Amino acid sequence: MNIESLEALALKNLPLLDGKRFKHVSLILYKSTPISIGVNKRKTHPLAAAYKYRFHEVHSELDAWIKVKDRCKDYTLVNFRFGHLNEWRMARPCALCMPWCKELFKEIYYTTRHGMVREV
């Protein structure tokens, strides 16, 4: 997993988040290859309601997961959050996302101000 290339891919998706306060991008990897990209959206979704997200808005993790076709594989989740200068910020999945993410993903990585962290 090359963090620099994953970060570049995440940064390419930032225009989708123009004007948004929180700039979260989630990548789902299979064998170190990105297969899905998700961003925070104001759009609602039935799964967002089921997970009790505020206003039923789609979080980046859920946006990426909805796009995955084959759900039988060992996937890795990589979360990025960018500040207004594209610096890394805390991107740990929220308390509503983390339980289902831990069930579905073999590994979970996320950014902090100090680097990339692997959830154990």
Q: What is the CATH number of the domain that holds 32?
A: 3.40.140.10
Among candidate residues 39, 10, 44, the one with its CA nearest the CA of residue 116: 10
pTM (2 decimals)?
Answer: 0.89
User: Count of domains in the chain?
Assistant: 1
pLDDT at 36: 97
pLDDT confidence tier of residue 50, bands split at 50, 70 and 90: confident
Domain assignment of residue 110, given as a range: 3-119
CA of 74: how far to CAs of 28, 77, 101, in Å?
A: 10, 10, 12
pLDDT at 72: 77
- Check pLDDT > 80 for residue 75: yes
Give the torsion through C-alpha atoms of 103, 10, 39, 70, to 10 deg.
-50
